[in-house]
Amino acid sequence: MLQGWVIASISFAYLGVLFAIAYFGDKRADAGRSIIANPTIYALSLAVYCTTWTFYGSVGRAASTGIGFLPIYLGPTLMAGLWWFVMLKIIRISKANRITSIADFVSSRYGKSQLLGGLVTIIAVVGIIPYISLQLKAISNSFTILLHYPEIVMPARAEALPLLQDSALYIALILAAFTILFGTRHLDATERHEGMVAAIAFESIVKLIAFIAVGAFVTFGIYNGFGDIFDRAEAVPKLKALMTVSDTGASYGSWWSLTFLSMLSIMFLPRQFQISVVENVNERHLTRAIWLFPLYLLLINIFVLPIAVGGLLHFPDGSVDADTFVLTLPMAERQEALALLVYIGGLSAGTGMVIVETIALSTMVCNDLVMPVLLRWKALRLQEEHDLSGLLLSIRRWAIAVILLLGYVYFRAAGEAYALVGIGLISFAAVAQFAPAIIGGIYWKGGTRRGAMAGLTAGFAVWTYTLLLPSFAKSGWLSLDFISEGLFGIGLLKPQQLFGLSGLGEIPHSLFWSMLANIGCYVAFSLHRRPDVVEASQGTLFVDAFRNTESAAGSRFWRGSAQVHDLLPLIGRFLGPERARDAFLAYARRRGLASIDALEANADLVHFAETLLAGAIGGASARVMVASVVKEEPLGIDEVMNILDEASQVRAYSKQLEQKSRELEAATAGLRAANERLKELDRMKDDFMSTVTHELRTPLTSIRAFSEILFEDPKTDLTDRRKFLAIIVKETERLTRLINQVLDMAKIESGNAEWHTADVGLREIIEESIAATSSLFADKQVALDMALAGEVPMVRADRDRLIQVMLNLLSNAVKFCKEGAGRVTVRLGVDGSTVRVDVADNGPGISEADQHTIFEKFRQVGDTMTAKPQGTGLGLPISRQIIEHFGGRLWVKSGTGQGATFSFSLPMNREANEHHEERKAK
Partner 1 sequence: MMKRSIVTGQRLVAAFLLGCVLFNYPLIALFNKPGEVFGIPLLYFYLFGAWALLIGLMVWAIERRKE
From candidates 153, 205, 298, 666, binder to partner 1 by CB under 8 A? 298
Beta-ladder partners of 797: 758
Rounded (10°) angle between helices 86-97 and 434-443: 80
From candidates 4, 16, 150, 227, binder to partner 1 by CB under 8 A? 227
- Evaluate whether 435 touches 262 at the Cβ level (below 8 Å): no
From candidates 302, 469, 647, 912, binder to partner 1 by CB under 8 A? 302
Cα 41 to Cα 38, 201, 660, 701, distances in angstroms: 5, 6, 46, 90
Compute the least distance from the CB of residue 548 to partner 1, in Å.
16
Q: d(Cα 47, Cα 275) in Å, to the nearest integer?
A: 9
Among positions 72-131, residues that touch partner 1 (CB under 8 A) are 74, 77-85
DSSP state of 3: -
Which residue number, 261 or 807, has a Cβ lying nearer to partner 1?
A: 261
Number of residues that bind partner 1 (CB under 8 A): 38
From candidates 252, 377, 477, 499, binder to partner 1 by CB under 8 A? 252
Can you give the C-alpha Rg of the chain in angstroms?
46
Which residue number, 3 or 244, has a Cβ lying nearer to partner 1?
A: 244
Compute the least distance from the CB of residue 252 to partner 1, in Å.
4
% helix, strand, coil for the chain, step of 5: 70, 5, 20
Which residue number, 278 or 305, has a Cβ lying nearer to partner 1?
A: 305
Which residue number, 111 or 294, has a Cβ lying nearer to partner 1?
A: 294
Q: d(Cα 687, Cα 681) in Å, to the nearest integer?
A: 10
Which residue number, 288 or 581, has a Cβ lying nearer to partner 1?
A: 288
Task: List all residues 6 or more positions away from 805 whose beta carbon is below 8 Å from its beta carbon.
Answer: 879, 882, 883, 890, 904
Concatenated DSSP letters of 128-178? HHHHHHHHHHHHHHHHHHHHTTTS--PPPPGGGS-GGG-HHHHHHHHHHHH
Compute the least distance from the CB of residue 183 to partner 1, in Å.
31
Q: d(Cα 516, Cα 459) in Å, to the nearest integer?
A: 8
- Evaluate whether 196 touches 183 at the Cβ level (below 8 Å): yes
- Evaluate whether 288 touches 84 at the Cβ level (below 8 Å): no
Among positions 817-856, residues that touch partner 1 (CB under 8 A) are none
Binding piece for partner 1, criterion CB under 8 A, among 68-76, 521-529, 676-684, 781-789 = 68-76
Compute the least distance from the CB of residue 306 to partner 1, in Å.
10
Q: d(Cα 640, Cα 650) in Å, to the nearest integer?
A: 15
Per CB under 8 A, 477 contacts partner 1: no
Which residue number, 260 or 904, has a Cβ lying nearer to partner 1?
A: 260
From candidates 255, 410, 608, 816, binder to partner 1 by CB under 8 A? 255
Picking from 146, 314, 127, the residue whose alpha carbon sits closest to that of residue 232 is: 314
Which residue number, 77 or 471, has a Cβ lying nearer to partner 1?
A: 77
Q: d(Cα 284, Cα 239) in Å, to the nearest integer?
A: 45
Which residue number, 78 or 152, has a Cβ lying nearer to partner 1?
A: 78
Among positions 757-776, residues that touch partner 1 (CB under 8 A) are none
Which residue number, 247 or 717, has a Cβ lying nearer to partner 1?
A: 247
Compute the least distance from the CB of residue 245 to partner 1, in Å.
6
Q: d(Cα 334, Cα 327) in Å, to the nearest integer?
A: 11
Among positions 28-67, residues that touch partner 1 (CB under 8 A) are 67
Compute the least distance from the CB of residue 335 to partner 1, in Å.
25
- Evaluate whether 196 touches 182 at the Cβ level (below 8 Å): yes
Which residue number, 245 or 803, has a Cβ lying nearer to partner 1?
A: 245
HSE toward the beta carbon, residue 451, CA cutoff 13 A = 27
Q: d(Cα 116, Cα 452) in Å, to the nearest integer?
A: 8
Binding piece for partner 1, criterion CB under 8 A, among 140-148, 253-261, 321-329, 849-857 = 253-261
Which residue number, 245 or 643, has a Cβ lying nearer to partner 1?
A: 245
Q: What is the distance between the terminal CA atoms of the chain, rounded to a whole angstrom?
A: 120
From candidates 151, 153, 291, 685, binder to partner 1 by CB under 8 A? 291
Compute the least distance from the CB of residue 61 to partner 1, in Å.
14
Which residue number, 80 or 874, has a Cβ lying nearer to partner 1?
A: 80
3-state SS track over 780-832: HCCEEEEEECCCCCCEEEEHHHHHHHHHHHHHHHHHCCCCCCCEEEEEEEEEC
Long-range contacts of 25-31 (CB under 8 A, 24+ apart): 25/194, 25/195, 25/196, 25/197, 25/198, 25/199, 26/185, 26/193, 26/194, 26/195, 27/195, 28/194, 29/194, 29/195
Print the binding letters for residues 166-205 with partner 1: x by CB under 8 A, - otherwise. Answer: ----------------------------------------
Which residue number, 293 or 706, has a Cβ lying nearer to partner 1?
A: 293
Compute the least distance from the CB of residue 243 to partner 1, in Å.
4
Compute the least distance from the CB of residue 428 to partner 1, in Å.
17
Print the binding letters for residues 303-332 with partner 1: x by CB under 8 A, - otherwise. Answer: --x---------------------------
Q: d(Cα 512, Cα 507) in Å, to the nearest integer?
A: 8
Which residue number, 16 or 503, has a Cβ lying nearer to partner 1?
A: 503
Q: d(Cα 610, Cα 601) in Å, to the nearest integer?
A: 13
Q: How many CB atoms lie within 10 A of CB 490?
A: 9
From candidates 226, 398, 512, 855, binder to partner 1 by CB under 8 A? 226
From candidates 30, 151, 231, 676, binder to partner 1 by CB under 8 A? 231
Binding piece for partner 1, criterion CB under 8 A, among 128-136, 297-305, 430-438, 741-749 = 297-305
Q: d(Cα 585, Cα 649) in Å, to the nearest integer?
A: 35
Compute the least distance from the CB of residue 301 to partner 1, in Å.
8
Q: How many CB atoms lie within 10 A of CB 825?
A: 17
Print the binding letters for residues 553-572 with partner 1: x by CB under 8 A, - otherwise. Answer: --------------------
Binding piece for partner 1, criterion CB under 8 A, among 249-257, 402-410, 550-558, 584-592 = 249-257
Q: Give the amino acid at 160.
A: A
Q: How many CB atoms lie within 10 A of CB 503?
A: 11
Which contiguous run of DSSP H or E holds residue 560?
strand 560-561
Per CB under 8 A, 70 contacts partner 1: yes
Binding piece for partner 1, criterion CB under 8 A, among 16-24, 171-179, 238-246, 484-492 = 238-246
Cα 439 to Cα 85, 94, 264, 810, distances in angstroms: 12, 14, 10, 82
Compute the least distance from the CB of residue 227 to partner 1, in Å.
3
Beta-ladder partners of 783: 823
Compute the least distance from the CB of residue 517 to partner 1, in Å.
25
Compute the least distance from the CB of residue 290 to partner 1, in Å.
6
Long-range contacts of 786-790 (CB under 8 A, 24+ apart): 786/825, 786/826, 786/827, 787/825, 787/826, 787/827, 787/828, 787/829, 788/763, 788/826, 788/827, 788/828, 789/763, 789/828, 789/829, 789/830
From candidates 240, 651, 704, 730, binder to partner 1 by CB under 8 A? 240
Binding piece for partner 1, criterion CB under 8 A, among 220-228, 479-487, 716-724, 847-855 = 220-228
Per CB under 8 A, 295 contacts partner 1: yes
From candidates 3, 244, 649, 707, binder to partner 1 by CB under 8 A? 244
Per CB under 8 A, 287 contacts partner 1: yes
Per CB under 8 A, 218 contacts partner 1: no
Per CB under 8 A, 225 contacts partner 1: yes
Contact set with partner 1 (CB under 8 A): 67, 70-71, 74, 77-85, 225-228, 230-231, 240, 243-245, 247, 249, 252, 255-256, 259, 287-288, 290-291, 294-295, 298, 302, 305
